[in-house]
Amino acid sequence: MKTAPVYVNGRYLTQPVTGVQRFAAEIVRAIDGLVLSGEWPATTLLTPPMDAAAPPLSDTAGLTLPARTVGRRQGQMWEQIDLPRAARGGTLINLGNTAPLLSGSGQIIVIHDAGVFDTPYSYSWKFRLWYKGLQHALARMGTRIVTVSEFSRQRIAASLGIDPARIAVIYEGADHIKRIAADETVLARHGLTRGGYALVVGSRAAHKNLSALEGVVHALRKRGMVVAMTGGGNRAVFQDTADQAAFCQLGRASDAELRTLYENAACLLFPSRYEGFGLPPVEAMICGCPVIATRGGAVEEICGEDALYFTMDDPASLVGAIERLLDEPGLRGDLSARGLLRAEKLSWLASARLLGDVTRRIAA
């Protein structure tokens, strides 16, 4: 049976790298390998015009997938006008929460969470209005929806008023962080020592709940340890409410630096109130770094019994969790070993294969 051509929305290549853009880049890399092995139909990456003065924050280095620049616009206008024209007659895969209305049901959209509905305080009103309206419209048109956890499937279905069976689930991978050699110099540059810090990775969005770490900062200081934070935030999207003066600020870290930070941290602290998946915990686990996270939601679904948890309404429970991790003999090593085994089961190749199943059903 003849199938429609397959296209991937390459808008992620022009966006600042957060978990969503990481997901897109790794899925495309995995698709590239599957195309070469004949397990995935021929696919073209459609991209906006690249600004030579401001190079993209993601790239296509090492990919064999053909990439084609289409249209003249940028941002949402490119996605809504230029992209659907170029993808006409094919199956379009959109990996980053948005998709063109003009492509209707002949496309896939990966919606990572229902954050604009469930945690509206984390986003600007313009961003909320656009995302809610767009996702409701796409759902009504019959666009195939994919998400990254069972938790997100249930929350997206409830928010959009659709049957959860309309939403496919593919987990994210963890193996990308081990692909690059560690950069050990990051520790000396920031005055960090092995086991002498607890690591925080993520943006400054309000739902990341960084204020919950205040008690931990004081508890670790008594032990001669610090809380080290890496990551950033997009002020056009997120409402930045956290006072971060108490943290050792590392700024954005490369994958090589991040691997070193995971491998040498006492633990990863992940106090987020809301996640569609939670990539830092599985990155930490595959690097042998124990995880302490907020109980409930997608993170507990993904990490299971191989992490420690605290409750949002009891900040003291976070201090108790890290003190237990540091003081209970054998606990850190046990969590490290169990977490590694769990994370090794999460691969981008497996995720891309599941996405391929959805794509073939639409393209046929």
Number of Cα atoms under 13 Å in the Cβ half of residue 315: 11
Tell me the pLDDT band of 237, cut-offs 50, 70 and 90: very low
The full DSSP string for 45-80 is EEEPPP-TTS--SS--TT--S-EEE--S--HHHIII
| The residue type at 21 | Q
Tell me the pLDDT band of 89, cut-offs 50, 70 and 90: very high
The CATH homologous superfamily of the domain defined by 183-343: Glycogen Phosphorylase B; (3.40.50.2000)
What's the CA gap between 15 and 50, in Å, rounded?
Answer: 11
What's the CA gap between 340 and 356, in Å, rounded?
Answer: 27
Tell me the pLDDT band of 239, cut-offs 50, 70 and 90: very low
What's the CA gap between 20 and 27, in Å, rounded?
Answer: 11
Q: Mean of the per-residue pLDDT values for the chain?
A: 89
Structure tokens at 41: 């139909």
Residue found under tokens 């064999």? 64
Question: Which residues face 200 on adjacent strands?
Answer: 229
Coil, strand or helix at 186:
helix
Q: Which residues contact 211 (CB under 8 A, 6 or more apart)?
A: 241, 242, 243
What's the CA gap between 34 and 31, in Å, rounded?
Answer: 5
What whole-number percentage of the chain has pLDDT above 90? 74
Domain 6-173+347-363, what fold?
Answer: Rossmann fold (3.40.50)
Q: What is the pLDDT of residues 161-190, one digit of tens each?
A: 999 999 999 999 999 999 999 999 999 999
What's the CA gap between 167 and 364, in Å, rounded?
Answer: 19
Rg of the chain (C-alpha set)? 21
- E strand or H helix that includes residue 167: strand 167-169
What's the CA gap between 276 and 266, in Å, rounded?
Answer: 25
The angle that helices 316-327 and 331-343 make with each other, rounded to 10 degrees, is 100
What's the CA gap between 22 and 42, in Å, rounded?
Answer: 22
**Domains of the chain by residue range:** 6-173+347-363, 183-343
The confidence score (pLDDT) of residue 238 equals: 30
Tell me the pLDDT band of 313, cut-offs 50, 70 and 90: confident
- E strand or H helix that includes residue 85: helix 83-86
What's the CA gap between 200 and 212, in Å, rounded?
Answer: 12
Residue found under tokens 């401001």? 54
Asked whether residue 240 carries a pLDDT value surpassing 70, the answer given is: no
Structural contact between residues 154 and 145, judged by C-beta atoms closer than 8 angstroms: no
State the greatest distance between any 2 C-alpha atoms of the chain, in Å, as a whole number: 68
Q: What is the pLDDT of residues 191-230, one digit of tens each?
A: 999 999 999 997 555 455 667 787 888 889 999 999 999 8
The confidence score (pLDDT) of residue 242 equals: 42
Q: Same fold for the domain at 6-173+347-363 and the one at 183-343?
A: yes
Residue 68 DSSP symbol? E
The confidence score (pLDDT) of residue 184 equals: 93
With CA atoms as reference, report the closest residue to 225 among 210, 208, 213: 213
